[in-house]
Amino acid sequence: MGLSEASGPRDTQALLATTEAMELRRRDYRVERPVLDQEKLEELGHWGLASGAPQWRTWFQCSHARARALLLQHLPVLAWLPQYPVRDWLLGDLLSGLSVAIMQLPQGLAYALLAGLPPVFGLYSSFYPVFIYFLFGTSRHISVGTFAVMSVMVGSVTESLYPDEAFLQDLNSTVNHMARDAARVQLASALSVLVGLFQVGLGLVHFGFVVTYLSEPLVRGYTTAASVQVFVSQLKYVFGLHLSSFSGPLSLIYTVLEVCQKLPQAVAGTVVTAVVAGVVLVLVKLLNGKLQRRLPLPIPGELLTLIGATVISYGVDLKHRFRVDVVGNIPAGLVPPVAPNLQLFVKLVGNAFTIAVVGFAIAISLGKIFGLRHGYRVDSNQELVALGLSNLIGGIFQCFPVSCSMSRSLVQESTGGNTQVAGAVSSLFILIIIVKLGELFQDLPKAVLAATIIVNLKGMLLQFTDIRSLWTANRVDLLIWLVTFVATILLNLDLGLAVAVVFSLLLVVVRTQLPHYSVLGQVPDTDIYRDVAEYSEAREVPGVKVFRSSATVYFANAELYSDALKQRCGVDVDQLISQKKKLLRKQELKLKQLQKKLKKQAGAPLMGLAPQQVSTENELEDTAANDQEEAKAPDASTLRALGLPQPDFHSLVLDLGALSFVDTVCLKSLKNIFRDFREIEVEVYMAACHTPVVTQLEAGHFFDASITKQHLFASVHDAVIFVLQQPRANPASPVLVTKL
C-alpha cells in the first residue's frame, strides 16, 4: 500500500514530462513537401483519363439482376411492401389514412370548384391518383391529391378557354351549366393527361433536376401569390355573386374591381352561411391546437362542418328560401375511362408544362423534407414518374391535375402514418364515399366549401412574413420573392412563373458579373492566403501579386475580370504598354531616318568634301551603328531602358480555385492577361485549378511553347515559393527576404 502511494507522485511527474515533450514536438510539427507544378503533379499522381467501356453501352446490357433492379426502381411498392412490419405500422397507417380521408373529402369537393368543375370530380381526383401514387411513389408521408394552387391553375385554364359567356342560351341569356361543365371536364382531363405525359417523360430521362431552377424564395412567393388568387376566386361564392370570367394579365385586378362593383347585390343568406362556417372551422382548428397532445386524432372540423351544413341546408331549404347556391347533383358510382381529346393538346401545351413543373416542385420539396426528417431517401426522378402516372391515369378517368397538400401531409405524419399504406387507406375511404355516400352532400352550400378553402389558406398567407425575415437574411432572395409575387398577381399564374424563373436566372448571371475581387496576402507563419482588405495581419509577399475572384470566369464577366485585375494591381497596364510601344516606334523611326541619311551619304562621292564634312559623316555612321546595336540588345526594349516606371512586383499569381468551367472567352482572356503582363515584364502563374478545368484548358489548346503546365501550380503557396526561388535578371525586381 505504501509502495504504491510512494510511486504515485513519480508516475505523475513522468506522465507530465511525457506530455510536455509531446506538446513541444507538436509545436515544432512541420509538413515539408516539394513544390508541385501541374506537370510534376500529373507525374506524381499518374493522372490520366478514366478508361473503360462507354456509358451508353451499359444501358443496353441485359441480365436478371438488372431487370429486377429496374422493376424495383420503377415499382417501389414491390421493394418495401413484402417487408412491411404489420404489427408495428399497420394501426398507425390505418388511423392516419382515415384522418387524411376525412380532410380529403371536403377539400376534394371545394378544390373542384376552384378548378371550375362540378364537385364530384374533386372526389375522383382524390381516389385514382392517390392509389396510383401508392404503387409508384417513394415518399412515405406526402398526401397526394387535390391542392389549392394546382386547382386554381386548372381553373384559370378552364375559365379562359371555356368562359360562361360561351354557353349563354339565346332565350333568357342564362348559362347552360350542363354543356359548360361537360366541356370543362373534357378540357381538365385532357390537361391532366398532358401534364402526366410531361412528368413521366421528364422522369424517364432523369430530368428531375429541373426543379432546382425553382428556388425556395421563388416557390414561396409563387404559392403566396397563388393563395391570393385562390382567395379572390372564392369571393363570388362567399357573396353569392355572378361574375364575368376574366383571363390573362390583370385578370385578378378586374375580378376584384367587379366584386367591389357588385357588392350591393350580395346574397345575405350566402354571406351568413360562409361567415358561420368560417368561424366554426377557425374555432375547431384553435381547439385542435390547444388539445393536440391530449387527442389521439384531431377533431375533424371540416367534415363535421360539411355534415352540419348539409343537414341544416336540407332542413331549412336554404336554396329556395334564402337563395343560397348548393352543390347540386352528385352522381353515385365511378365513371368509365374516356380517351382524351387530342385536338386540345395544342392549346394546352404551355399551361400543361407549367402545371407539371409547379406540381412536381411542391411534391418533391415536401417529400425531401419528410425524407430528411425520418431518414429515408426520396428519388426525385421516380417521384416525377409516380406523379406523372397519377395524373396520366387520373386524366383518363376524368380527374384534373393533382399534387400534394401540405396540410394533409402534416396530418398524415402527425397521426402516425409510416408508409404509403396510409394513402391507400384514404383512397379506399374516398371510394366508399363516391360509390355510396356522395349523393348525400347534394344540398351542401357552396359558401361552406368556399369558407373551407379560405380557412385552409392560412398557412400560405402566413408566408407574407417571409418579407421581414428575408429583409434581414438576404435581400437578393427578397427581391426574387417580391418579383415572383407581383408578376404572378399581375400576369396570372402561368406567365408569372415564367417571368419569375427568367428573372431568377438573370439575377444569377448579374451576381456572377459582380463577384468579389481580392488581392491576397499571407497570414504570418502559415501557408494560408487571405484578402488583405479583410485580414489586417495578412501581408502581401514582396514582389508577388496574388489575385482571386469569388466567381468563375466566363463570357459574361471575363472582361470585368481583366479590368478588375489590372485595377487591383495598382498599375495602369494598358497605358504602360501604350507608352512602351510609342517609345519603341519612335526609336525605330529614328533608326530608319539615320539609315536613310547613311544611304544618301554613301551614294554621294567623297571627292571634294572638306575634312569637317568627312568627320561628320563618320559620326553619323558611328551613331547609326550604335543605334542598331542598342536596338538589337535584349535590354534595349525594357521599361527601365525606355525610362518608364516599373511595377512594384515581378510576378502575378492567379488563384483560379473558383473556376468551375472554361469557355472560349475565358481562354482568350487568360491568354491576353499573360501577354499584357509580360509586356510590362511581369510573369504570370496560375494556381489551384481543378482537374476538369485543366482538361478543358488542354482541349482549348491553351498550353503552348510560351504557356506551359509549369505555369500552373497545385496551390497558391506552391506558386509563390516557386516564384521566389527563381533568379531575378532585373536587379531592380524585389526579392522576398521574409519567412514563408
Q: Taking the domains of the chain in order of start, what are their residue ranges? A: 88-510, 514-577+646-724
C-alpha cell at 485: 409575387
Please tell me what DSSP assigns to residue 86: H
The string of DSSP letters for 422-469 reads HHHHHHHHHHHIIIIIGGGGTT-BHHHHHHHHHHHTHHHHGGGGHHHH
Q: What per-residue confidence (pLDDT) applies to 615? A: 53
Q: What per-residue confidence (pLDDT) applies to 51? A: 52
C-alpha cell at 30: 512541420
- What pLDDT, in 10s, does the model give residues 107-162? 899 899 889 999 899 999 999 999 999 999 999 999 999 998 899 999 989 988 99
Buried b (16+ CB within 10 A) or exposed e, 456-475: bbeebeebeebeeebeeeee
- Count of beta carbons in the 10 Å neighbourhood of residue 432: 12
pTM of the model: 0.78
- Evaluate whether 636 touches 630 at the Cβ level (below 8 Å): yes
- Rg, Å, the chain Cα set: 39
Buried b (16+ CB within 10 A) or exposed e, 115-127: bbbbbbbbbbbbb
Q: What per-residue confidence (pLDDT) applies to 208? A: 77
Q: What per-residue confidence (pLDDT) applies to 258? A: 93
The string of DSSP letters for 107-133 reads HHHHHHHHTTS-THHHHHTTTHHHHHH
pLDDT along the chain (740 residues), means of 10: 47 61 55 78 74 57 78 88 90 90 89 90 94 93 91 91 82 78 94 96 84 84 91 91 83 92 92 94 90 81 90 91 87 88 92 92 88 88 94 95 89 87 93 86 90 88 92 93 95 88 90 89 89 91 93 91 92 90 88 79 55 52 53 65 88 93 93 94 93 91 91 92 77 44
H/E element holding 518?
A: strand 517-522
Location of C-alpha cell 481543378: 690
In the CATH scheme, what architecture does the domain 514-577+646-724 have?
A: 2-Layer Sandwich (3.30)
Burial class of residue 635, CB neighbours in 10 A (0-12, 13-18, 19+): exposed
**Distance of alpha carbon 72 from alpha carbon 576, whole angstroms:** 68
Q: What per-residue confidence (pLDDT) applies to 337? A: 92
Q: Coil, strand or helix: which one is 600?
A: helix
